[in-house]
Amino acid sequence: MGTRGNCLNRRDVLRGIGAGALGLVAGHKIFGPAISHAATGSPLPGKDQLYRKPAPPAKVALVKGNDRREIVYQALKKIEDEVLASIGGKKILIKPNFVSCDIPLCATHVDAIRAILDFLTPHYKQQIIIGESTAMNKRTPEGFKNYGYLALQKQYNVKLVDLNENPSYEYRYVFGEGHKPLPVRIISTFLDPNTYIISAARMKTHDRVLVTLSLKNVLLGAPLNDYQKNDKWCLHTGENIVNNFCHFNMFHLAQEIYPDLAVIDGFEGMEGNGPTHGTPVDSRVALASLDPLAADTVATKIMGFDPNRILYIRAMNEAGMGQAELEKIEVIGTALEQCRYKFKPHEYMAKVYNL
């Protein structure tokens, strides 16, 4: 394996951002624009700035086809050198999305995970963790069983882990009703700088933040649900409005918790009343990127929504946490114009966004 490239310190850099960024919400922009002071050599941002430089241009692999496993694999192959260099000597965690353990359409399909493992195993010889922390009362192992994941332990050098049963956690604060600070337990695995996090998400709509993709999969998966107390719901407080607290809470946690690689399975997406009760979309696409914000931006565009209207995407972009300006994202593989759809939004979001 090679040494890590430009994303070596992504989470370390994000940790240095500081919660003070949220204070700029009341200003003209959500966050002040990031600028570089490389010419002066100053390590400090300029007036009204929080970030030293904006995010660099990004690359997103996009593949359309008729076989889920193949298109996910081919998307990863298109950025193979960069991905392998970025892993270094870290342990790998593949984080699927089991928001529920008994609704197949809401969960990351096992063949998408197989494709990721097909890509990794020729190069990475250590055991890979497939870890999930379901939001529901049914325990994660039920999802592993119901969704066909148990076979992976026989086919690959992997271990299936219920992250909700991780005894190690750290407290962080998020916003609750009336802007009340709420302590939440964050599973330590998501804070470990020696863990390479692969977010394996399904392309879906959402009832609070319009879309749920690679970033939300990790950020909303990080709070602990020990099956007696579920801290994940602390991030979902407030009304169903454009600036629902969930956007702010995701931005806040993303300063420390951030996937290293985004893989989005849109072979069969979910539209309508996602993230659990929507209906299928035969979209037949897969995306992969070392910039999860760029991947989510392109996926949002594919779904037929405007990324600039989604607060957490726009906020992270203005904060320099990733690239969300389409003109600065290189889409390689299938042309974006060949992958446009019109996903129906959740009924609540249709009213909020006038869709």
The CA distances from residue 131 to 200, 221, 226, 244, in Å, are 11, 10, 15, 28
Q: DSSP for 208-256, please give it.
A: SSSEE-HHHHHHTTSB-B-SSSBGGGGGG-S-SSTT-HHHHHHHHHHTT
176 located within any domain: yes
Q: Which whole-number Å values give the CA distances from 72 to 194, 242, 248, 279, 342, in the listed order? A: 25, 32, 31, 21, 21
22 occurs within a structural domain: no
Note whether residue 271 is domain-resident. Answer: yes
Q: What is the pTM of this model?
A: 0.88
Give the per-residue pLDDT at 11. 57
Q: How many domains does the chain have?
A: 1
**Structure confidence at residue 21 as a pLDDT band (50, 70, 90):** very low
pLDDT for residue 145 = 98
Query: Does 319 fall in a domain?
Result: yes
Percent of the chain whose pLDDT exceeds 90: 80
Residue 24 has pLDDT above 80, yes or no: no
173-226 tens-digit pLDDT: 999 988 899 999 999 999 999 999 999 999 999 999 999 999 999 999 999 999
State which residues form the domain around 240. Answer: 10-14+57-352
Residue 323 belongs to some domain of the structure: yes
Per-residue pLDDT tens over the stretch 88-139: 999 999 999 999 999 999 999 999 999 999 999 999 999 999 999 999 989 9
Which has the closest alpha carbon to 76: 114, 130, 132? 114
Neighbours of 347 (CB within 10 A): 12
Instruction: Look at residue 53 and tell me whether its pLDDT is greater than 80.
Output: no
- β-sheet bridge partners, residue 200: 263
**Lowest-pLDDT range of 23-37, 81-95, 192-206, 265-279:** 23-37
**161: pLDDT strictly greater than 50:** yes
**Coil vs helix vs strand at 351:** helix
Residue 90's domain is classified under what CATH number?
A: 3.40.50
Residue 273 located in a structural domain: yes
- Does residue 28 lie in a domain region? no
- Residue 12: helix, strand or coil by DSSP? helix
Please check whether residue 25 lies inside any domain of the structure.
no
